[in-house]
Amino acid sequence: MNTRKNFEEVLYALPPSVREVITKIPDDLLQEVEEIRLRVNRPLTVYLKNEEKFVSKEGTISFSPSLAYIVTSEDCEKALQLISKSSLYAFEEEIRNGYITLKGGYRVGIVGKCVLENGYIKTLKNISGYNYRISKEIIGVAEEILKYLITPSKDVYNILIISPPQCGKTTLLRDITRWISNGIDFLGFKGKKVGVVDERSEIAGCYNGIPQMDVGIRTDVLDGCPKAYGMIMLIRSMSPEVVVTDEIGKKEDVEAIHEVLNTGVKIITTVHANDIEDLIKRPVLKDVISLRYFERYVILSNRLGAGTVEIILDENFNTLFKGPYRRGRTEK
């Protein structure tokens, strides 16, 4: 794998001094990087294998912040010019939401001073920190669990992926979406029309409206659209057979899911939680569980790395599969 070629858009969007440091990281470590964090007057930080590390001027990765390259205010000013291509106005809506999406589906989170107008965030200024999130597209990661997600009549179950943060839920969701859209020959499953509501530009990684990730040949994407609105928009406009979203949690999300299910359209989505019991404790989500909105629950962890499938349950919470399993790794 040509790691630097895969990181080309991210490297271009880094300020020159930081880019020089990052390109000194050995390829075998660079390909494991999940985040690159820049904070004014603080150590240059990367996250890999769910661990925080600091990067020296020589590209050496360590646990010691005292050895790290210190990000300057000039670095952060240059970063904003690069990720916005010197046109902040063109990215005003994304900046208002706290991130900018780069070509290739990479997302850069930004923090600074919020400028309010009539009680709403108008924009951000005095940007003081960036989080370059490295999208991990792993084709085929869902292959071994697909048989639990497709009905005997070759339809799709309503699926909820339950996962703590940074445990690979979006990577798994994206791959499930691709399989369902393209079709699954070994299960005799024909591809279905899929509508993706990609509120945070993470599932499809759209750039100028075009998905940068492989989400399948029959997939339509609403990028940057709130989930509750987007689900209904897709039902009305694109006649999907399956609707996919990421990270439900608001009352309006649950109401929209209920409306989608009433139309006979299938739903696949994710939620931040550790397990079913965790969800039941949340007032907004407990009805989703008690009313059996979903027919399959896929629970993830990072025990064997991001994307570890711990257990798959049916609508009555019976165990269909017990892991941990991660593509290429199992533990008995």
Q: Which two tokens stand for residue 107?
A: 């997302």
- Strand ranges inside the chain, DSSP E: 33-39, 45-48, 51-55, 61-62, 99-101, 107-117, 120-133, 159-163, 183-184, 189-190, 194-198, 219-223, 242-245, 266-272, 296-301, 308-314, 319-326, 329-330
Phi, psi of 140 (to 5 degrees): 90, 5
Lowest mean pLDDT among 36-40, 119-123, 124-128, 168-172: 119-123
Residue ranges per structural domain of the chain: 4-133, 143-325
Are the C-beta atoms of residues 79 and 15 closer than 8 Å to each other?
yes
Q: What pLDDT score was predicted for residue 117?
A: 82
Q: Which fold has domain 143-325?
A: Rossmann fold (3.40.50)
Residue 2 has pLDDT above 60, yes or no: no
pLDDT in tens, 303-325: 988 889 999 999 999 999 999 99
Q: Is the pLDDT of residue 50 over 80?
A: no
| Cα of 206 vs its chain's centroid, Å | 12
In percent, the amount of the chain with pLDDT more than 90 equals 65
Task: Find, among 253, 246, 254, the residue nearest to 177 by Cα.
Answer: 246
Report how far residue 45's alpha carbon sits from residue 38's, in angstroms, rounded to the nearest whole number.
Answer: 7
Q: What pLDDT was estimated at residue 1?
A: 43
Residues 291-306: pLDDT tens digits? 899 999 999 998 988 8
**CA–CA distance, 210 with 191 (Å, rounded to integer):** 21
109 has a pLDDT exceeding 70: yes
In the prediction, which pLDDT does 330 show?
55
The answer to whether the 4-133 and 143-325 domains have the same CATH topology is no
Instruction: Tell me the H-state helices in 146-208.
Output: 169-182
Proportion of the chain above pLDDT 70, given as a percent: 95
What would the two tokens of residue 331 be? 């533990």
Q: What predicted TM-score, i.e. pTM, was given to this entire model? A: 0.82
Q: How many CB atoms lie within 10 A of CB 47?
A: 18
| Distance separating the N- and C-terminal Cα atoms of the chain | 31
CB of 296 closer than 8 Å to CB of 159: yes
- pLDDT number for residue 306: 81
User: What's the pLDDT score for residue 332?
Assistant: 40
306 CB-contact burial (10 Å; exposed 0-12 / middle 13-18 / buried 19+)? buried
Nearest one of 221, 225, 211 to 253, comparing CA atoms = 225
C-alpha to C-alpha distance for 166 and 155, rounded to whole angstroms: 29
Going by pLDDT thresholds of 50, 70 and 90, the confidence category of residue 6 is low
The 10s digit of each residue's pLDDT in 220-252 is 999 989 999 999 999 999 999 999 999 999 999
| pLDDT one-digit tens code per residue, 271-290 | 999 999 999 998 888 888 88
Distance between CA atoms of residues 250 and 285, nearest Å: 8
3-class secondary-structure state, position 203: coil
Q: What is the CATH number of domain 4-133?
A: 3.30.450
pLDDT of residue 327: 82
